[in-house]
Amino acid sequence: MHFFRFARPLAAHKACKGVFLHPMNKYKRRTAIKGGPFLRLTVHEVRQKHKNDLDAASLRVRWCYGERMASALFILNGPNLNRLGTREPDVYGHTTLGDIERMCRETADDIGFDIEFRQTNFEGMLVDWIQEAGDVAQGLIINPAAYTHTSVAIRDAITTADIPTVEVHLSNIHARDAFRHHSYVSPVAYGVICGFGATGYRLAIEALSEVIRA
């Protein structure tokens, strides 16, 4: 089970000693609390526990390893990616989404990151998750799949989230059908990785970790 440690609302910390600012980059990373009270909860538990009594925007996430603080990454996958392994294997290969998730967790563990790995076939759900990532995560990796070429809503959500984002595609979208050449996500992403199959997710995690820690 993967956990986040959520600090209590920022106002509650004003009386706490040891409040300090974590080194920040241009993405205005969250205030960290040293020695303050924490709630050890999963993301789902936090949503359920606090949806009626806490302002979600006041939550500040930190996953702590002693004095060292690592970051949380959201890895979001769009429509039809749940069919990987059987869907057009000549294009996408035989690797399943479960295989990709295991690889991502191993890669993230090796470099000290915790991840939330999710997939949905619904555009609105992706928007909800991107908004959640903006509240609690240090970075976002997203494979919007077909929504890459159609969704202004996903583009706007990424812009509003204001965290470094990497767009990933298993295939080289620029070598395929003409309608796949345009991406609504690329202009608001920190970077784009495509055409390397499942390896692209590992490359995205490694690259994003360097951006966050810069």
Active centre residues (catalytic) = 92, 169
Q: Are β-strands 165-169 and 139-143 bridged in parallel, bridged antiparallel, or unpaired? A: parallel
User: Cβ of 156: how many Cβ atoms within 10 Å?
Assistant: 14
3-state secondary structure of 111: coil
3-state secondary structure of 202: helix
In terms of DSSP H, where are the helices of the chain?
43-50, 89-92, 97-110, 123-136, 152-161, 199-213
Rounded distance, CA 129 to CA 150, Å?
Answer: 18
- The token duo for 30 is 């969250």
Q: Are β-strands 38-41 and 4-7 bridged in parallel, bridged antiparallel, or unpaired? A: antiparallel
